[in-house]
Amino acid sequence: MDPTTPLDWHRMFFGVEPPLFLVEIVIRIVAIYLFAAVFMRLMGKRGQRSLSPFETLVIIALGSAVGDGMFYPEVPIVYAWLVIVCVVLLDWLIDALQLRSRWTFLAMSGEPILLVRDGEVVSGGLRAARLRRNELMGLLREQEVANTGEVRYAFLEESGYLGLIRFPDGEAREGEATVPPEI
């Protein structure tokens, strides 16, 4: 490996690769971004309580582009800039497509998943959400629900949070305790 010449402006901004390599970078960005987006979507909503999968992906991609460009002298600044611009443009494009097309929105974000109906846990909803029963009970406890009979509907929202519609006071049903039996 050749020693790095400090303050080599051409290497810092453009690197030593041929200019056509910039096109390869764009192709790599699009391919990796779309691949990661599909797999983040397939991962489901568990563990994504505050950021959407695409917001998480943008943060990871930008962090990598910024970090690599800052720390590795063989990564020219223009490459990092190009990655940042492409990731942000892809994010804007996906947002625009989601606003124009319900199909795109559903494919990227999904729909709320029904987990509780009229105090009863919906097993198919748990499977669709890839959520274990004890995880659901924990989410219900976070919403101060002691018994599923208090809940008319519970949905796992696109955001990963639990959306609740409770029965009006006095209309609760019998249900399953959310508190573990040993407590």
Residues 122 and 135 in one domain: yes
Interior angle at CA 166, CA 163 and CA 168, nearest 5: 155
Residues 88 and 146 in one domain: no
Cβ atoms < 10 Å from Cβ of 129: 22
Asked, for residue 3, whether it belongs to a domain, the answer is no
The first and second tokens of residue 162, run together, are: 């639990």
Residues 62 and 119 in one domain: no
CATH value at residue 160: 3.30.240.20
Give residue 116's pLDDT.
Answer: 96
Domain total in the chain: 2
Model pTM score? 0.60
Looking at the domain assignment, is residue 180 inside a domain? no
Residues 6+ apart with CB under 8 A from 75: 15, 68, 69
- Asked whether residue 172 is assigned to any structural domain, the reply reads no
Q: Are 45 and 51 in contact (CB under 8 A)?
A: no
Residues 22 and 105 in one domain: yes
Query: What is the pLDDT, as a whole number, of residue 166?
Result: 95
> What integer best gives the mean pLDDT of the chain?
84
Q: How confident is the model at residue 77 (pLDDT cuts 50, 70, 90)?
A: confident
Provide the domain limits for residue 118: 113-166
Q: Which of 78, 109, 140 corresponds to the end of one domain?
A: 109
pLDDT at 81: 86
pLDDT tens track for 29-66: 888 788 777 766 765 665 455 667 777 888 888 888 87
Check residue 73 and give its pLDDT.
Answer: 65
- For residue 27, give both structure tokens: 């192709």
Backbone phi and psi for residue 49, each to the nearest 5 degrees, phi listed first: -85, -15
Based on the domain organization, do 42 and 96 belong to the same domain?
A: yes
